C-alpha cells in the first residue's frame, strides 16, 4: 500500500430461480466426472476445452458447474440476455431467448466475476520490492520513508500525478486482474477517463450508477474536525456516500494501534473530531452506520472488533502484503466468527501477490500453517464475490449468479470434487472466459469469435495456452483520446519506456506468471 500521504483523499444473495433442480448442498462434491473423467479425491484437474454448441445472438447460455448463491448446480446453466442474467438453474431451456442465444458447454466452473477489494492498480507494473537486508517493518509509515523503497517505486512515483504514468500502469494492473478472472477492483485510482474501461473500478468508473465511494489513503489520524464534518455531510446527503474506504492500522506499532480509536471519534488531540465517530452515530438528527470499510485492520482489539460489528463496518483482508511487510496479519478467524463482512485483495504487486487468485492461494497456505480452519476455498470465494460486492457497495448489481444481476462472469477451466478449489487452483491459463456486462474480454481463443466484445481483440499466450484479450476500443473509453484504441502491446511498450528511463526496462512485471 503506497505510504502516500500525498495521495488526495477521495473528497466523494437466496437460491437461483428454483425451477432447476438444485443439486447438492454448498459443500458437496460435484459429480462432474462425466466431463473431465474420474476426478481426483482432492485438488482439481484441467477440464476439457469449452464447446460452442450453437452460435446465436443477443446473449449466451453457459453450461457447467455453476456456483450459485446458495447451491452448487452440477450440471447447471446460466442464461445471459444482453448485459443481464435471466436464469440460473439446472435447466434454463424453457426461459425466453434460451433457444436463440449462443450455447456454450464450458466444461468448467462458472462463477460470478471476482471482486478485488484492495489494490493500487497504478503500481502493478512494478515487481516486488524486497528490502535488502530482508526485514520486517512496524507500520506502513516506516517503509514509506525507506530510501530503497522510494527508489524501487520511482518509475511510478516520479510521475504519480501525470496521466502518462497513471493510465498505462493502471491498465496493466487491470489487464492482469482480467486474466485472473477479476472483473471489479477497488484500487484507489485517480478519477481519470482512461480508467473508464476494461474492469470496473469500484471507486470511480464502475458503470453501475453513481459513484458512492470515497477513499482515503492518508492516516485517519490526520482527519480534522472540518474533514469529519465534510464526510458526515456526505454520509447523510440525499445522494450519500455509502462507502468510506480507509487504510486502517497497517502494522503493529503504537501509531497504527491508535488509528481505530481516532476514526471512532476518541482521539484526544485537538481538531481531531473528538466525540464524532466516522463509523456510526447520529449527525444532524440522522443516524448513519455501515459505511466504513477498514483495509488491513491488523492490531484491532476484541472490543474494537465488536465495535466494527456493532457499527456495520466492513473489513478488507490482504494477507500476503501483511505477512511480507510485518510478519503478521489481521485476526481473520475472529473476524469471521463475529460475522463481519470481509473482502479480500492483494494490495499491490510491490509487496502483495500479483493477482487475486494467487492471493487466495497464499491465504490458504497461510491458514494451513496457522491452523485457521475458517479459511477455506469456499470462504475465500465468498470474500471475492458477494461479500466483496457488499464491501464495495455494488451488491445490488454484481457478486452473485442471480436473476437480474449484471452478467459479470468468470469461467474457470478446472473441475474437482471441491467445487470452489476449481477457482482457487486456477491460473491465467485456466481462466476460460471472462464476461463483463455479458461481453467477452478474455478467454480461450476458440471462444473469441462468439464471445468477444469487439473485433479489436488480441492474441495472448498464457503460459502456452492461446487466449484472446480485448482492450482497444472497448466500451467506456472516451473515443476522443488516443488511448481509446491503444492495444496491450502499446501499453507494454509505454511501460517499458518509463522503466527504461531508470535503466530497468527488463523489470516490467509480466501479466501472467508461468512458474
Positions that interact with Zn ion (CB under 5 A): 1, 347
Cell of 74: 452440477
| Shortest spacing between CB 222 and Zn ion, in angstroms | 16
Given the complex with Zn ion, which of 112 and 319 has the nearer CB atom?
319
Three-state secondary structure string covering 81-127:
ECCEEEEEECCCCCCCCCCCCEEEEEEEEEEECEEECCECHHHCCCC
Beta carbons of 195 and 201 less than 8 angstroms apart: yes
| Shortest spacing between CB 247 and Zn ion, in angstroms | 6
Given the complex with Zn ion, which of 347 and 359 has the nearer CB atom?
347
Beta carbons of 36 and 47 less than 8 angstroms apart: yes
| Shortest spacing between CB 132 and Zn ion, in angstroms | 23
Residue corresponding to grid cell 488511448: 483
Question: At 20, is the secondary structure helix, strand, or coil?
Answer: coil
Long-range Cβ contact pairs of 222-225 (< 8 A, separation 24 or more): 222/5, 223/262, 223/263, 223/272, 223/273, 223/278, 224/271, 224/272, 224/273, 225/271, 225/272, 225/273, 225/276
As a whole number of angstroms, the distance between CA 180 and CA 169 comes to 17
Residue corresponding to grid cell 492482469: 176
Angle at 374 between CA 406 and CA 185, to 5 degrees: 30
The residue number with the shortest CB distance to Zn ion is: 1
Beta carbons of 121 and 189 less than 8 angstroms apart: yes
Write the CA distances from 397 to 72, 91, 174, 331, integer angstroms. 21, 23, 20, 30
**Residue 133, preceding peptide bond in cis (omega within 30° of 0):** yes
Beta carbons of 464 and 227 less than 8 angstroms apart: no
CA 157 remoteness from chain centre: 23
| Shortest spacing between CB 318 and Zn ion, in angstroms | 7
| Shortest spacing between CB 348 and Zn ion, in angstroms | 6
Beta carbons of 146 and 134 less than 8 angstroms apart: no
The sign of the CA dihedral 428, 361, 302, 373 is: positive
Phi, psi of 271 (to 5 degrees): 55, 40
Beta carbons of 107 and 413 less than 8 angstroms apart: yes
Angle at 124 between CA 157 and CA 342, to 5 degrees: 115
| Shortest spacing between CB 129 and Zn ion, in angstroms | 14
| Shortest spacing between CB 121 and Zn ion, in angstroms | 11
Given the complex with Zn ion, which of 127 and 505 has the nearer CB atom?
127
| Shortest spacing between CB 127 and Zn ion, in angstroms | 17
Given the complex with Zn ion, which of 1 and 394 has the nearer CB atom?
1
Phi, psi of 108 (to 5 degrees): -140, -165
Residue corresponding to grid cell 471512532: 264
| Shortest spacing between CB 413 and Zn ion, in angstroms | 31
| Shortest spacing between CB 2 and Zn ion, in angstroms | 6
| Shortest spacing between CB 352 and Zn ion, in angstroms | 8
Amino acid at each position: 500500500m503506497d505510504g502516500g500521504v500525498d495521495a488526495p483523499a477521495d473528497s466523494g444473495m437466496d437460491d437461483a430461480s428454483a425451477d432447476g433442480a438444485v443439486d447438492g448442498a454448498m459443500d458437496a462434491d460435484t459429480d462432474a466426472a462425466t466431463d473431465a473423467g474420474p476426478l481426483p479425491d482432492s485438488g482439481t484437474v484441467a477440464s476439457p476445452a469449452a464447446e460452442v454448441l450453437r452460435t446465436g445472438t443477443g446473449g449466451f447460455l453457459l453450461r457447467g458447474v455453476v456456483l450459485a448463491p446458495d447451491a452448487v448446480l452440477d450440471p447447471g446453466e446460466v442464461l445471459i440476455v444482453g448485459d443481464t442474467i435471466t436464469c440460473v438453474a439446472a435447466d434454463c431451456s424453457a426461459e425466453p431467448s434460451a433457444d436463440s442465444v449462443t450455447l456454450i458447454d464450458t466444461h468448467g466452473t462458472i462463477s460470478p466475476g471476482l471482486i478485488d477489494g484492495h489494490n493500487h492498480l497504478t503500481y502493478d507494473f512494478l515487481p516486488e520490492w524486497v528490502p535488502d537486508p530482508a526485514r520486517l517493518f512496524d507500520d506502513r509509515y516506516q517503509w514509506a520513508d525507506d530510501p530503497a523503497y522510494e527508489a524501487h517505486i520511482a518509475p511510478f512515483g516520479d510521475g504519480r500525478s501525470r496521466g502518462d504514468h497513471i493510465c498505462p500502469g493502471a491498465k496493466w494492473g487491470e489487464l492482469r486482474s482480467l486474466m485472473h478472472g477479476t472483473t471489479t477492483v477497488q484500487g484507489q485510482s485517480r478519477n481519470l477517463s482512461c480508467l473508464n474501461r476494461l474492469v470496473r473500478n469500484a471507486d470511480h468508473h464502475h458503470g453501475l450508477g453513481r459513484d458512492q465511494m470515497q477513499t482515503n489513503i492518508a492516516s485517519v489520524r490526520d482527519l480534522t474536525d472540518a474533514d469529519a464534518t465534510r464526510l458526515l455531510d456526505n454520509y447523510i446527503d440525499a445522494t450519500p456516500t455509502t462507502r468510506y474506504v480507509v487504510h486502517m492500522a497497517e502494522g503493529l506499532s503504537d501509531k497504527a494501534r491508535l488509528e481505530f480509536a481516532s476514526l471512532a471519534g476518541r482521539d484526544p488531540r485537538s481538531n481531531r473530531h473528538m466525540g464524532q465517530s466516522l463509523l456510526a452515530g447520529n449527525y444532524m438528527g440522522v443516524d448513519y452506520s455501515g459505511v466504513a470499510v477498514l483495509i488491513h485492520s491488523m492490531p484491532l482489539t476484541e472490543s474494537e472488533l465488536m465495535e466494527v460489528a456493532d457499527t456495520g463496518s466492513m473489513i478488507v483482508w490482504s494477507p500476503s502484503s501483511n505477512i511480507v511487510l510485518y510478519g503478521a496479519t489481521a485476526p481473520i478467524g475472529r473476524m469471521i466468527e463475529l460475522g463481519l463482512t470481509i473482502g479480500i485483495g492483494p494490495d499491490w504487486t510491490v509487496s502483495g501477490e500479483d493477482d487475486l487468485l494467487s492471493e487466495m492461494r497464499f491465504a490458504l497456505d497461510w491458514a494451513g500453517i496457522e491452523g485457521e480452519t475458517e479459511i477455506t476455498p469456499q470462504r475465500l470465494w465468498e470474500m471475492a464475490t458477494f461479500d466483496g460486492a457488499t464491501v464495495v457497495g455494488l451488491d445490488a448489481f454484481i457478486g452473485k449468479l442471480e436473476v437480474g444481476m449484471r452478467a459479470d462472469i468468470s469461467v474457470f477451466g478446472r473441475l474437482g470434487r471441491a467445487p470452489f478449489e476449481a477457482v482457487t487452483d486456477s491460473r491465467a491459463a485456466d481462466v476460460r472466459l471472462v464476461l463483463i456486462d455479458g461481453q467477452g474480454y478474455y478467454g480461450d481463443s476458440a471462444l473469441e469469435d462468439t464471445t468477444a466484445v469487439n473485433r479489436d481483440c488480441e492474441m495472448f499466450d498464457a503460459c502456452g495456452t492461446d487466449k484472446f484479450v480485448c482492450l482497444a476500443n472497448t466500451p467506456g473509453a472516451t473515443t476522443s483520446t488516443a488511448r481509446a484504441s491503444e492495444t496491450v502491446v502499446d501499453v507494454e511498450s509505454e511501460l517499458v519506456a518509463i522503466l527504461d528511463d531508470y535503466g530497468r526496462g527488463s523489470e516490467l512485471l509480466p501479466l501472467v506468471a508461468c512458474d
